[in-house]
């Protein structure tokens, strides 16, 4: 059954604002990134989503394409973002078949729960490689196309751009490293690196017309991350650590994406847009493991899908 429009974006956006634009998204079959891409496609864009699982990536791509008659959405599976040659081939195919790459979402990520003394060097390296190296490889593969798009879609902030916007990248990060998060040292290190990379891209590529920003989601309901990384029996109560007193929705991440890629985000560059209902300010410990008792116990994480037994 097709999703209702309000499930993946607000009703305030005008149809057609991304006509003839192309978005390239790593991690595009995931619950958050697929909502981001779905919203852009509904508003006129075509898209290419990248993932490791071939069947899942192709299935999600076909589903996203149903939101708008005539939409073109490529699903390219068997892509490991840690391998630059695979990402480059995917970016080149995207530009060739769809005509350009105007927007990029670097959303591929890896995660599990464990204390730093329980994390192996290989596990730490895997997370950093997926998040940081994967984001770098995404930038390297798509940057020439983004520079070309930015040149075609210049805006001075005073007159409406004739051909819309282009040359923009969003890195999907997190808030884990702002105050520190137990059981997430590996991801905190990786996301801090992603944030630094986004700023570097803004500084170095901004003069070419590129904008580079970060979206940092908080706990988003009905997503793989929440399902894998928190205990089900405490999940219904953990929202109390969020000032807005609820989990977020994928729609709210998609809305932030539209804002940054649209005419309304022209002068936003090198920034982090946190979409978490204020949660990071509380430094809540809402995944069901009592602090500091669990850490002092020396136990490994159990009762969640994203425990130490992760393949990472």
Among residues 31, 135, 149, 173, which one is catalytic? Answer: 173
Among residues 126, 191, 230, 251, which one is catalytic? Answer: 191
Based on the residue annotation, tell me whether 83 is a catalytic residue of this protein: no
The CA–CA distances, whole Å, from 202 to 93, 147, 263 equal 26, 12, 17
Long-range contacts of the stretch 180-185 (C-beta < 8 A, 24+): 180/283, 181/285, 182/115, 182/285, 182/289, 182/291, 182/295, 183/113, 183/114, 183/115, 183/287, 183/289, 183/301, 184/111, 184/113, 185/115, 185/116, 185/119
Based on the residue annotation, tell me whether 191 is a catalytic residue of this protein: yes
Q: Any idea which residues carry the catalytic annotation? A: 173, 191
């Amino acid at each position: 059954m097709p999703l209702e429009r309000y499930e993946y974006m607000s009703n305030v956006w005008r149809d057609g604002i991304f006509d003839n634009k192309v978005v390239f998204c790593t991690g595009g079959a995931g619950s958050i990134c697929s909502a981001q891409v779905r919203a852009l496609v509904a508003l006129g864009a075509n898209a290419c989503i990248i993932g490791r699982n071939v069947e899942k990536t192709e299935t999600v791509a076909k589903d996203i394409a149903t939101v708008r008659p005539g939409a073109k959405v490529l699903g390219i599976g068997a892509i490991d973002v840690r391998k630059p040659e695979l990402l480059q081939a995917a970016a080149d195919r995207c530009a060739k078949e769809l005509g350009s790459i105007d927007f990029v979402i670097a959303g591929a990520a890896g995660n599990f729960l464990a204390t730093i003394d329980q994390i192996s060097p290989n596990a730490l390296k895997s997370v950093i490689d997926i998040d940081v190296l994967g984001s770098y490889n995404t930038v390297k593969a798509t940057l020439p196309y983004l520079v070309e798009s930015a040149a075609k879609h210049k805006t001075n902030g005073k007159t409406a751009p004739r051909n819309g916007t282009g040359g923009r990248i969003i890195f999907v990060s997190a808030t884990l490293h702002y105050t520190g998060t137990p059981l997430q040292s590996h991801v905190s290190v990786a996301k801090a690196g992603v944030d630094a990379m986004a700023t570097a891209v803004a500084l170095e590529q901004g003069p070419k017309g590129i904008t580079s920003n970060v979206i940092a989601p908080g706990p988003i309901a009905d997503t793989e991350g929440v399902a894998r990384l928190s205990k089900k029996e405490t999940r219904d109560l953990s929202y109390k650590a969020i000032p807005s007193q609820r989990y977020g929705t994928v729609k709210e991440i998609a809305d932030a994406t539209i804002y940054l890629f649209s005419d309304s985000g022209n002068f936003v560059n090198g920034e982090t847009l946190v979409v978490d209902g204020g949660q990071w300010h509380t430094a809540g410990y809402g995944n069901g493991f009592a602090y500091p008792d669990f850490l002092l116990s020396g136990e490994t994480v159990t009762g969640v899908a994203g425990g130490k037994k992760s393949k990472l």
